[in-house]
Amino acid sequence: MNVPNSTPQTPDNPLLADWLTAYGLPPFDLVRPEQFEDAFKVAMAAQRAELDAIAANPEPATFANTLEAMDQCGRLYNRIELLFSNLTVSETSPALQAVQRTMAPRLAAHENAIYMHAALFARVDSLYRQRQQLARAAQDLRLLERVHLDFVRAGAQLSGEARQRYGAVVQELAAQCTTFSQNVLADENSFLLELKTESDLAGLPEFMREATRAAAAQRGLGENSHAVTLSPSLTEPFLSFSARRDLREAVWRERSLRGAHEGATDNRPVAARIMALRQEQAELLGYANYADYELVDRMAGKPSTVLKLLHQAWEPAKAKAQEDRAKLTAMANSLGEPTPIAAWDWRYLAEKVRAQQFDLDDAELKPYFTLDNMIAAMFDCAQRLFGLRFVEQQGLALYHPDVRAWEVQRADGTAVGLFLGDNFARPAKRSGAWMSIFRSQSGHQGGTLPIVINNNNFAKASPTLLSFEDVKTLFHEFGHGLHGLLSQVRHERLAGTSVLRDYVELPSQLFENWALEREVLQRHARHFQSGETLPDALLDKLHAARRFNQAWATLMYTGPALIDMALHSLPSGTAVDIAKFEAEQCRALGVPGDIGLRHHLSHFQHLFASSGYAAGYYVYMWAEVLEADAFQAFVETGNAFDTATAQRLLQQIYSAGNSQEPAQAFRNFRGRDPQVDAMLRKRGLLG
């Protein structure tokens, strides 16, 4: 594999020395938090010097001396920033968090200085104005269009006081977003519910007892102790199985109240300040609101298109939830549970109804879904679809003992990239699941191979048993991982997952479909003790129950998506009381109190840990429209691994990055525009 460009030899700071490690991995065992500040100082200066040289070139701007040169510069800065951003979410510490607070506004200022570089933008703009006359390949023109839009959206056309103010806004936003994410992590780590008696463990199946025992050990409790943390891998099954209603309520409330406690970690004023800054940012750039600004660079294009899609699911889901509520209430009555039911009852009662209606419960399924077997299953799917092999590499120095590494190869043995898996929850790691990179694919220097990482937060146990929702999450993130690994483009700005936000979830959500394929489960879903294959009867029940409780899931997701769009559609200059706004929106939408929201604004990291999903939480449903329709292309062939369809999928979606306009890429794969009906049927909201 290619390693990054040579860098200044600074033996006392490994971040600045050549990384002569296997695969060009960061020297994790040598890196210390205090080294980042000096390393960034050197790397930022180096990148600015490279860009200054491009801007000062006396020759007229050409694609090669401007766009290609820009795409290839900043190698040192990029590798340090990727390492830093990965460590701050996957293996942080008080020392690293302090560096993060210091560096966040400085890194934002550095990026702002690039996009405010007048001479650099002048060269880009001159090429953009003559783009119709440039005899360039389509991918080159796509790069020019994307880079020009990057500059414009970052304020390159501003001048005078507006230009100065914009720089101050983006720096403060970076600092506030860092505070927001650190506050959420602090609240998650501050909660621990110790289960001290057998009564506290009532209803918990053996896999949950093993997981709570492991969580207690991780937090330093006694050998036979049990505990629940706020990691979703613990809270969600606890809410599904615990017979102790009082404990379910305690866990549900604490999970809901992250970031909403008075004191140092209160995110309500932080989120309000972020909104004020975003409104000002949009106004400076000439937009009526922040949602309009963000959707300029999305497939949806405008908020009204988003709202139309969300309400197509919201209203039918509310109606369907009424039917489900009646079944859950009847179950509560039969169990002697209080009614009307509450939000901390829904999962518990739904699990009881599922067990009764489909003769299926999660505790019966989990023994067949070991983490190792499901990793093998997703690798098998990647091999059958795209011809990939995953060869585990032992002995690499990685940032935590939980992390595993696989060299990814084509059938002929040539290297594709390196895949890392970090699958377990721990206090130094943020909750949730995500994909990231330590190095991007590109065509630089004959080809740079990617280093891709998947993060999950499963409860560590021996063995680790997954719910089927966990299996879907594993496959989802691996879909993102494949999008990064399979990228085959020339320009790094267009590589892998560097696509429009409401398109980036297509490869990930599409890959979830193979987790439910019968032949995949028959091959890989084996009982962790007996080795028995998942029985056909259980598999039939799993398929029969796949639409069960989908109204609840739809409302839990769509409510926050609608609130996100309403919040970011507020006119510039509108002061926001975060808690009051959320309450008002819940009333206006008719959010059922016994269902609630998956995310509350005080801990909604999609929105406030960065701008990535701001005015963009809808993208999962937008992408679901795309993926549900896309998977039908396989269904129509009668073979989930149809070779011709998989090859078309590889060429048009997984390897294409941002080298073409996404709507056209979908049409090239499917032969037409996407249709919403497949998504609504999948959720059981259409006959």
34 is known as an active-site residue: no
**Other Cβ atoms closer than 10 A to 410:** 12
Which residue is catalytic, options 91, 477, 492, 505? 477
Beta carbons within 8 Å of 280's beta carbon, 6+ residues apart: 165, 169, 572
Tokens 């995949």 -> residue: 520
Strands 389-392 and 415-424: unpaired
- Residue 111's Cβ-count burial label (10 Å; 0-12, 13-18, 19+) is middle
Report the distance separating Cα 66 and Cα 60, nearest Å: 9
Do you find a cis peptide bond into 269, omega within 30 degrees of 0?
Answer: no
**Are 480 and 419 in contact, with CB atoms under 8 Å apart?**
no
Strands 451-458 and 415-424: parallel
The CB-side HSE value for 64 (13 A sphere, CA atoms) comes to 2
- List phi, psi (to 5°) of 181: -70, -35
Report the distance separating Cα 459 and Cα 667, nearest Å: 40
Strand partners, 533: 526
Q: For residue 320, what are the CA distances in angstroms to 336, 394, 482, 559?
A: 25, 50, 35, 15
Report the distance separating Cα 510 and Cα 472, nearest Å: 11
Go through 587-614 and write b for each residue having 16 or more CB atoms within 10 A of its CB, e for each that does not: eebebbebbbbbbbbbbbbbbbbbbebb
Report the distance separating Cα 544 and Cα 547, nearest Å: 8
Q: Quickly list DSSP for 169-206.
A: HHHHHHHHHHHHHHHHHHHHHH--EEE-STTTTTT--H
Round to the nearest angstrom and report the end-to-end CA distance of the chain. Answer: 51
**Are 452 and 418 in contact, with CB atoms under 8 Å apart?**
yes
**82, two tokens:** 């990727």
Report the distance separating Cα 131 and Cα 152, nearest Å: 16
Which strands form 415-424's sheet, in the order they lie side by side? 389-392, 404-409, 415-424, 451-458, 434-439
Stated as kind and residue range, the H or E segment containing 408 is strand 404-409
Report the distance separating Cα 437 and Cα 79, nearest Å: 10
Report the distance separating Cα 545 and Cα 354, nearest Å: 8
Residues known to be catalytic? 477
